[in-house]
Copies of this chain bind each other. A is one copy, B any other.
Amino acid sequence: MSGVPRVEASQAERPLFFGVDVGGTGIKIGLVDNQGRSVERTRIDTWEERGPADAVTRVRRAMDELLQKVAVGWPEVAAVGLGTPGTMDIPRGLILAPPNLPHWRNFPIRDALSDACGKPVWFANDANAAAYGEYWVGSGRDHPSMIMLTLGTGVGGGIIIEGMSVDGRHSFGSECGHIIVDSRDDARLCAWGGGRGELEAYASATAVVARTKELLEAGRESSLGRRIAREELTALMVAEEANAGDPLALEIIDETARWLGIGIVTLVHTIDPGLVVLGGAMDFGGEQAPAGRRFLEGVRQEFRRRAFDVVAHSTQIEFAQLGSDAGYIGAAGIARAGWLKTAGRSPGDRLADAPGMT
């Protein structure tokens, strides 16, 4: 969280905004100031099976505790931003059928949270919210447009063009994990949705684990073979063994980078954003680790090898800066942009418009 801009409550620029980032196991809630700095944050369990109404009540309680902790009153909070995993109906404020929230189907979460807080709520896809956070105060803060890929269990996507998030007509815009990178009949299947040959099946932690297991089961020699006798295989473990020089782990990283590079060529030839940001936990250790740096360099090489000259060397590909804070910061930023537009006020910076584009 070293890259997250922070500020004391007393120094925070008013108004403040809450950002809420809902995941399958946890909900992050953060108070963010008018410049995108994190004042305070907390995390509660999702307790998915208790249903969304219960979670909304607990989110409100957590917000009260958080405000009390930093001695801020609700009148200083202008609006709330809410990010949830898709599928969803953003204009109507509905969760539809997210695979990791099976008991939350067709729930009007935007209005429920608004009623609970007494504040207007802006609603976004979780990956688009994370992209907006990086755009506002992270890796993208000097760029008018960017694409973010969130590499985790799956691959999330967020596209920001001149401050506006590409939400799509059916709230299915920016689903960059589901672009097709492998059109062969025997291409890998996505865990979510079951699509064949989609980026998520090649560049997620799930994919890394599956591919590594395949090679180990095929009899390939690796230090990972000894470890999985005792522990469950993870992408982090692949990174660790790659750092120690294990050839199989290095091969997996190179292969994953190659697929991701192919996907990024397609996305850049479609959007030409100037910047592509790689976020999420599946970063092989990121900038700090040899494996992470090798991964990033591999992505860049495959991209440059295949992309058109005019974008090959002028498009930056970087790791994200906000870590898992990107989601709530971005949700708060989306709320801020929407609130400013509704209030008919100019934000005094480049974030002039409400961020949702359908």
- Once A170-B310, A306-B196 are accepted as A-B contacts, the answer to whether A271 and B270 lie under 8 Å apart by CB is yes
Question: A181 at the A/B interface (Cβ < 8 Å)?
Answer: yes
Which of B96, B259, B266 contacts A179, CB < 8 Å?
B266
Q: A176 touches which one: B145, B169, B270 (CB < 8 A)?
A: B270
> Please, what's the 1-or-0 string for A173-214, where 1 marks a CB less than 8 Å from any CB in chain B?
111101111111000000001011010000000000000000
Inter-chain contact A358/B162, CB cutoff 8 Å: yes
Measured CB to CB, the nearest residue on chain B to A162 is: B357
- Which residues of chain B are within 8 angstroms of A170 by Cβ–Cβ distance? 272, 274, 310-311, 314-315
Interface 0/1 of A132-168, CB less than 8 Å to B? 0000000000001100000000000101011000111
Residue of A171, A183, A271 most packed against chain B (CB within 10 A): A183
- Which B residue sits closest to A267, measured CB to CB? B270
A103 interface hit (Cβ, 8 Å): no
> Which of B168, B273, B310 sits near A271, CB closer than 8 Å?
B168
Can you report 30 A-B residue pairs in the complex whose CB atoms are below 8 A from each other?
Answer: A87-B308, A145-B168, A161-B161, A161-B357, A162-B357, A162-B358, A166-B272, A168-B271, A168-B311, A170-B274, A170-B315, A171-B272, A171-B310, A172-B269, A172-B272, A174-B270, A175-B308, A176-B269, A176-B270, A179-B179, A179-B270, A180-B265, A180-B306, A183-B262, A184-B184, A195-B265, A195-B306, A195-B308, A198-B269, A266-B266
Chain A interface (Cβ < 8 Å from any Cβ of B): 87, 96, 144-145, 157, 159, 161-162, 166-176, 178-184, 193, 195-196, 198, 259, 262, 265-274, 306-311, 314-315, 357-358
